[in-house]
Amino acid sequence: MLSHVSVGVTDLARAVAFYDAALGALGYVRVFSGPISAGWGTPDGTEPFAVKLQARPPSAGPGSHLAFVAPSPAAVDRFHAEALRHGAVDDGGPGERPEFGPTYYAAFVFDPDGNRLEAVHQ
């Protein structure tokens, strides 16, 4: 149903480095780069949904967040570690979240621009 989600960032180069590391930990790759934007998807191009960054002021809010599918709990752990290493703020370390489902394993961070991100394996 969705093609992509655009996320505003204040520093595109910093954001690209952050998302290369955090999404790379989940197996995603940068699929395009431009002077004012960049996007990530699956290496084989089969994932129809992409995350797109745009060099514009972010408009993240406390009720919004992006959740990325992780192929394993270990990938969730790597996502969280890479995100923190690249400037994220922790919003809930890797672990089971039985309140969301019996097999829900996730981690939450705020990216350097304050966007709330989650990596989840179910």
* Nearest alpha carbon to residue 89 among 107, 60, 64, 112: 112
Number of domains comprising the chain? 1
Q: At what angle do helices 12-24 and 73-85 cross, to 10 degrees?
A: 160
Sign of torsion over alpha carbons 63, 85, 79, 37? positive
Hey, how many other C-beta atoms are within 10 angstroms of the C-beta on 59? 11
Within 10 angstroms of residue 80's Cβ, the number of other Cβ atoms is: 27
The pTM score is 0.81
Supply the range of the domain harboring residue 101.
Answer: 4-56+65-121
pLDDT digits (tens, 9 = 90+) for 68-118: 999 999 999 999 999 999 999 999 999 999 988 899 999 999 999 888 899
pLDDT band of residue 61 (cuts 50, 70, 90) is low
**Choice among 11-15, 37-41, 55-59, 92-96 with the minimum mean pLDDT:** 55-59
The CATH number covering residue 117 comes to: 3.10.180.10
Greatest CA separation for the chain: 43
